[in-house]
Amino acid sequence: MKKKRVPDKSDLDTIRDQILDFACTKHDFKPETDEFLQNGNWRGAFIVKFKDSPEEERLYCEAPLGEHFMRFEMDIEVNGEIWKKEYEKILQESSGYDVALNPIPAKGEDDKIHCRLYSRAWVPNFSQRIFGLTLTNLLDCKKAVLSTLSGN
């Protein structure tokens, strides 16, 4: 039986390039940070400006060396009082998109909760283009969560 190849640094380079290739056709993507950590993992942040709206987002990406997945992350801020009342609905909404949500109290601001939305994409073959679906799903989840927060 043929042994599976473990992803290496060249795979991480390919991932980064694919994100930019995909993103630049759909949105204006600008790398903000791009780093290979000492343990070989890649972590990057991108500024995404959508071509069909004036919105701008920050997209965080992580790819652990030797693993067959990537993690995409986006941030939202939530009013602390609304979070206390609506957190079950918010978590239910994000789980419907298969997106994890991690709430963290904002430093120095008792009335704000900083939340990071996480989406993991399984990459069985690092040459596959799966980033469009993952990014779209994460954006749809963020819109749904913000809609829930606004009471719509």
Residue 144: inside a domain: yes
pLDDT at 128 over 60: no
| Structural domain count, the chain | 1
Q: How far apart are CA 10 and CA 39, in angstroms?
A: 15
Q: What is the pLDDT of residue 67?
A: 73
Query: Cβ of 12: how many Cβ atoms within 10 Å?
Result: 22
Q: What is the pLDDT of residue 3?
A: 63
| CB environment 95-104: b (16+ within 10 A), e (fewer) | eebebbbeee
Residue 2: inside a domain: no
Range(s) of the domain holding residue 68 = 9-150
Q: How confident is the model at residue 117 (pLDDT cuts 50, 70, 90)?
A: very high
Residue 3: inside a domain: no
Query: Is the pLDDT higher at 126 or at 27?
Result: 27
pLDDT tens digits along 6-33: 566 676 677 677 766 665 555 677 778 7
Q: What is the pLDDT of residue 99?
A: 92
Task: Note whether 74 and 57 are within 8 A (CB).
Answer: yes
Q: What is the mean pLDDT of residues 51-58?
A: 75
Q: How far apart are CA 117 and CA 29, in angstroms?
A: 19
The percent of residues above 90 in pLDDT, for the chain, comes to: 6
What average pLDDT does the structure give for the chain?
Answer: 77
Is pTM beyond 0.85 here? no
Residue 4: inside a domain: no
Task: Note whether 135 and 141 are within 8 A (CB).
Answer: no
Residue 30: inside a domain: yes
CATH of the domain at 114: 3.30.1460.10
Residue 17: inside a domain: yes
pLDDT at 137 over 80: yes
Residue 1: inside a domain: no
pLDDT at 126 over 60: no
Query: Is the pLDDT higher at 148 or at 131?
Result: 148
